[in-house]
Amino acid sequence: MSLKFLLNDGAHIPWLGFGTGTAFYGKDATAAVRAAIETGVLHLDGAQAYRNEETIGQAISLSGAPRDRLYITTKLAESPSENSVKNTLKSSLKKLGVDYVDLFLIHSPVTALKEGKLKQWWNEMEEIKTEGLAKSIGVSNFTVEHLQVILEDAKVVPAVNQARVLFQKTFVHPYTWDTASSIYDFCKEKGILIESYGGLSPIFRATGGPVDPVLAIASERLSKASGNPVSSGQVLTKWLIQKGMVVVTTSSKVSRIQEALATTALPDLTTDEITAIETEGVKWHRRFFMKHVFNE
């Protein structure tokens, strides 16, 4: 059975999601999404801002996967303009070809904060959950301060905060852990699950950093323990899982997806290895996405 995390509303979310942003932004993601589903990733992570929700819907249809086997996420565009939050989701549902999404997120707090509408947006999100258009609701790229604003009046605590939070304030990876750890701790206290996107940035966007030797040593140990080669990417993925975070990947390579899926069967990282990843990570702050949210 695939690993799932329990959300604060009682729902379960698969630990690995396939993201349709970054390389697929504004592009046809049909083939990639279909390949992900057929490889075994049933958690699909989309967004209105990615401008490719229709292609996710096409992939779902072509895959033949039953709706109840899939976990579908989409996110509210940063500027819903004259449309209500509910109407933007209804438009997304039509594009996706489904009656509901499993998770609906506010993609970024920036516009709502500028317009003084963050609490209003969250109130509309709560109505969406009540009506069943989204089984769970949450946020994305929120700092502690952003979360505190909506929690003042919230009837529903966000189920998820999707972030690049470890090596980059809301990017969860080791080189944002200096700023991300406070978000992680706050969310843990409030029962909000962290989803990490860009979690493998240290090995793809910041090679040569202080975490590299730590990953290499852990990779060697796990390779010997499991009897199979273990990559640095799997070590980082294991770290995220053991920290209780959902991992969102955008790799369209079947081999990479298979490698990620195989991570759950690996032995756990030791306490010393986890500490070393975080200790070395805070020595070299690197953020690659959503810098405007964090005034960088």
Question: How much is the average pLDDT of 282-295?
Answer: 49
Overall residue count recorded for the chain in this entry: 296
Q: How confident is the model at residue 44 (pLDDT cuts 50, 70, 90)?
A: very high
pTM of the predicted structure, to 2 decimals: 0.90
Alpha-carbon gap, residue 29 to 236, rounded angstroms: 26
% of the chain surpassing 90 pLDDT: 73
Q: Kindly report which listed range (45-49, 80-84, 98-102) carries the lowest average pLDDT score.
A: 80-84
Which pLDDT score is estimated for 67?
Answer: 97
Residue 61 has pLDDT above 90, yes or no: yes
CB 233 within 8 A of CB 263: no
Cα-Cα end-to-end distance for the chain: 41
Residue 94 has pLDDT above 50, yes or no: yes
Q: Kindly report which listed range (3-12, 69-78, 185-194, 206-215) carries the lowest average pLDDT score.
A: 206-215
Decide if 71 is catalytic: no
Alpha-carbon gap, residue 286 to 61, rounded angstroms: 39
- Mean pLDDT computed over every residue of the chain: 88
Which pLDDT score is estimated for 290?
Answer: 43
Q: Using one digit for the tens of pLDDT, what is the confidence trace for 128-150?
A: 999 999 999 999 999 999 999 99
Which pLDDT score is estimated for 283?
Answer: 73
Q: Kindly report which listed range (5-9, 52-56, 83-87, 225-229) carries the lowest average pLDDT score.
A: 83-87
Which pLDDT score is estimated for 83?
Answer: 79
Residues 6+ apart with CB under 8 A from 42: 2, 14, 65, 69, 70, 71
More confident residue, 154 or 293: 154
Is 107 annotated in a binding site? The answer is yes
Domains, in order of start, for the chain = 12-158 (3.20.20.100)
Residue 167 has pLDDT above 60, yes or no: no
Q: Which member of 25, 50, 100, 197 is catalytic?
A: 50
% of the chain surpassing 70 pLDDT: 85
